[in-house]
Structure 1
């Protein structure tokens, strides 16, 4: 847990804790940072719902960048060749085509366009491959791209070519959270299908029975506070009853704007954050259940 490098400016005694107030009165706990070793536990006990990011939070970033993404890049052409005529693939190709048109209209440069269905597979397939490679090179998280990636990962997981990975502390702590009556949800830019595949095909077990639900970009962008409000409404709790764990600062900012409690998760290999000192940080999920 990190309570250092806090910019001291103004403190009030609130709920038996010294609190640093950032543009808000201490009664609004979501916009304050606890200044005691009990800060994590205080927030944890108030939360009815634990909302988890995946990449860099439950799962090493390297698993995504060195296993999942390369699998798609290296196998997209052969996958499309084998599955081109399927209805779900034709549907996602149409979504990719529409996304490319929107990208062009919005002024993005060098967008690989995709020919219409009236063209032959030999003409259109290379367009789809080029568009997927282009989007992945920019680390884009469009729903159409994530959906196609999810289809490919499904085949890889079910055939045993890929096994999911989570940090060692994740399963034991989530088991304890369930015993404590917490509801646990996932919110990731990866599709719900991809989330379930990852957690259902782990090297060391199956995480799915511990999860109460999943959210992806069909709910909204993780950069927008309204997306988090939608999640709170969906799981039928007040925003202040949700604790969101993420390693991404803009996600933390958006969730906090929505009224969520937020912890920044600092894992090996995660990118340093410019304003991590504005949040409580944890290095392991074990901090959530520490006595």
Structure 2
């Protein structure tokens, strides 16, 4: 069954939705883990790194924590898959540089990019909202197997500039930022809590259920569900 939505914009989750969670966990996480120590020791004066380190110290309640202690906290959060903003910031710095060097190429499910191109060409705006930092999102879409996809996107949102993904206020914030009323926004995600929050903010929401993904068996609650992007027809609102 094809799901049809008439909206002005689609907002995309990444892990489990456009791309395989396994790629992130098996490739990107170890890549970042192996480089935390060097980043913390060699780049502590960079404003973005310094801000993230301060956030780690605040989160663990240790204002004097040294680089070794900060790295230990980051690795613990990584083990827990905690969506901690400073962790995502520092991962983003490392991944961006890895993509730029050609060490990394991102992953997209085969059905995703053709539909993004179709939706974009029809006048529907595309945005990303991921727990990964904006820097990581940009690197991800810049370094896809099909080349740079950022020309398809109108904006990037993360837990720092929008807020936690399971809180309705975050989606209201994105709506305000885009200038698009909630009823003309569609959110795609594999996580039911995120879909609930988007709907509570007045958005349309569709759950993406891909076999092998962490939330596949759990399902998406009472939300409409699609197995692939080509099961969703999106057209531009005319009002």
Once residues 122 and 45 of structure 2 are traced to their aligned partners in structure 1, the CA distance between those partners, rounded to angstroms, is 48
Partner of 2:237 in structure 1? none
Deviation at 1:186, TM superposition (A): 0.5
Q: Please state if 1:216 is matched with 2:158.
A: yes
- Structure possessing the higher relative contact order (Cα contacts under 8 Å, 6 or more residues apart): 2
Partner of 2:127 in structure 1? 185
Unaligned runs of 5+ in 2: 235-239
Partner of 1:285 in structure 2? 229
Answer whether contact 2:191 2:220 (CA < 8 A) is retained. no
Q: Please state if 1:234 is matched with 2:216.
A: no
Distance 1:273 1:258, change over 3 A: farther
Once residues 219 and 191 of structure 2 are traced to their aligned partners in structure 1, the CA distance between those partners, rounded to angstroms, is 11
Q: TM-score, normalised by structure 1?
A: 0.75
**Helix, strand or coil at the partner of 2:165:** coil
Partner of 1:272 in structure 2? 216
Unaligned runs of 5+ in 1: 1-36, 102-112, 117-123
Q: Please state if 1:82 is matched with 2:25.
A: no
Question: Of residues 25, 38, 58 in structure 2, which corresponds to 1:98?
Answer: 58
Once residues 71 and 91 of structure 2 are traced to their aligned partners in structure 1, the CA distance between those partners, rounded to angstroms, is 12
Partner of 1:65 in structure 2? 25
Once residues 80 and 163 of structure 1 are traced to their aligned partners in structure 2, the CA distance between those partners, rounded to angstroms, is 24
Cα deviation, 1:204-247, whole Å, max 9, x if unaligned, reads 21110001111110211111011111111211122111111000
Distance 1:131 1:57, change over 3 A: same
Partner of 1:10 in structure 2? none
Question: Of residues 78, 88, 100 in structure 2, which corresponds to 1:158?
Answer: 100
Question: Of residues 139, 154, 171 in structure 2, which corresponds to 1:197?
Answer: 139
| Residue correspondence of structure 1 range 68-147 to structure 2 within 5 A | 68-101=28-61, 113=62, 115=64, 124-147=66-89
- Count how many residue pairs are aligned between Structure 1 and Structure 2: 233
Cα deviation, 1:10-41, whole Å, max 9, x if unaligned, reads xxxxxxxxxxxxxxxxxxxxxxxxxxx46x11
**Helix, strand or coil at the partner of 1:289:** strand
Answer whether contact 2:172 2:201 (CA < 8 A) is retained. yes
**Helix, strand or coil at the partner of 2:163:** coil
Partner of 1:16 in structure 2? none
Once residues 72 and 184 of structure 2 are traced to their aligned partners in structure 1, the CA distance between those partners, rounded to angstroms, is 44
Partner of 1:110 in structure 2? none
**Helix, strand or coil at the partner of 1:161:** coil
Deviation at 1:99, TM superposition (A): 1.8
Partner of 1:24 in structure 2? none
* Structure showing greater Rg: 1
Q: TM-score, normalised by structure 2?
A: 0.91
Question: Of residues 240, 247, 258 in structure 1, which corresponds to 2:201?
Answer: 258
